[in-house]
Amino acid sequence: MPEALLADAIGLDVTLENGVRAPTVAEYWFGEGVGASPFALVTLGAEVGCGLIVDGRLVTGAN
């Protein structure tokens, strides 16, 4: 797993996320989403993406 290789190399716990879920968590912790529940982040660019936090947890799944 890439996480394990990176964690071994730098000596820290590592979690890898995709390009929309990571900024969703960052905004929830430090930005516009602080204190919001639920919270959604929509990204527009070459593709459209959406990250969702419900009850303080990032929603993940196959789709």
| Residue 28: domain span | 18-63
Question: How far is the C-alpha of 50 from the C-alpha of 5, rounded, in Å?
Answer: 28
Residue 47 within a domain: yes
Residue 41 within a domain: yes
Angle at 3 between CA 17 and CA 48, to 5 degrees: 15
Residue 12 within a domain: no
Q: How confident is the model at residue 63 (pLDDT cuts 50, 70, 90)?
A: low
Residue 37 within a domain: yes
Number of domains within the chain: 1
Is residue 61's pLDDT more than 90?
Answer: no
Q: pLDDT value at position 62? A: 72
Residue 13 within a domain: no
Is residue 37's pLDDT more than 90?
Answer: no
Mean pLDDT check: name the lowest of 12-16, 40-44, 52-56.
12-16
Residue 4 within a domain: no
Residue 10 within a domain: no
